[in-house]
Amino acid sequence: MCSAETGMVECAGLFLSNNMHPIKDYAHLVGHLDGFNADLIEEHLGLYAGYVKKYNEINERLGSVERVGNYSYAEHSELIRRRSVAWNGTKLHELYFDNLTEGGMELGSGLKIALERNFGSVNAWKDDLKACANATPGWVILAQQIDDGTLQHYVVYEHQNNYPAEVRVILALDCWEHAFAKQYGTNKGAYLNAFFENLHGEELERRLG
């Protein structure tokens, strides 16, 4: 049996980090992104904070539940299964909000070259991203393969389904309706245009391996 204390878990005499994750502050984005109403971003940040809290809650609970697994149901099993949802919901939202900035920033030269090499042109990359966005109610990620450095898109359902292994996320695009419907209804295309207008090109360049 393990016991959770502040910031650590004592388990069989060993102290292990319980992986508490802080909620990042994105107040600088609220009311400062063209095409994104302040209340849309505020509501979205509230959802993000909910994923962080659930991730922390799951890790805290794992510090005290019995380590018994079962395919049908066991508390430990369910917590482990759902941790992927809370963690991906946390990190994908951070990648999303981090790749937005007031007024947008031009793509770095390294990323432009990589996009041209992998998609044909920057415009062709944008077209491909838009096509992917129309194929998922979850996420689109522009990913760099760890194996060979190439770039390609993946569509992710919910936050954890269809998620590729061994990739570096260069861009995260939230395609859940909560990201745009409050302002744009079903017009996902207008949302995507606003997304591109505020894209943080320098941040994307920094993520390249």
Contacts for 148 with CB less than 8 Å, ≥ 6 apart: none
Q: How many CA atoms are closer than 13 Å to the CA of 197, on its beta-carbon side?
A: 12
Token pair for 96: 């999303």
Work out whether 94 is an interface residue with Fe ion (CB under 5 A). no
Residue with nearest beta carbon to Fe ion: 174
Q: Give whichever of 87 and 176 is closer to Fe ion, judged by the CB atom.
A: 176
Q: Residue for token digits 């689109």?
A: 140
Minimum CB separation of residue 139 from Fe ion in Å reads 8
Degrees to nearest 5, angle at CA 162 with 82 and 126: 125
Kindly determine how many residues on this chain lie close enough to bind Fe ion according to the rule CB under 5 A: 2
Minimum CB separation of residue 179 from Fe ion in Å reads 5
Minimum CB separation of residue 175 from Fe ion in Å reads 9
Which of 86, 136, 87, 129 lies closest to 107, judged by CA? 129
Q: Which of residues 146-185 bind Fe ion (CB under 5 A)?
A: 174, 176
Minimum CB separation of residue 27 from Fe ion in Å reads 17
Q: Give whichever of 31 and 46 is closer to Fe ion, judged by the CB atom.
A: 46
Q: Give whichever of 119 and 176 is closer to Fe ion, judged by the CB atom.
A: 176
Which of 144, 151, 62 lies closest to 115, judged by CA? 151
Q: Which residues bind Fe ion (CB under 5 A)?
A: 174, 176
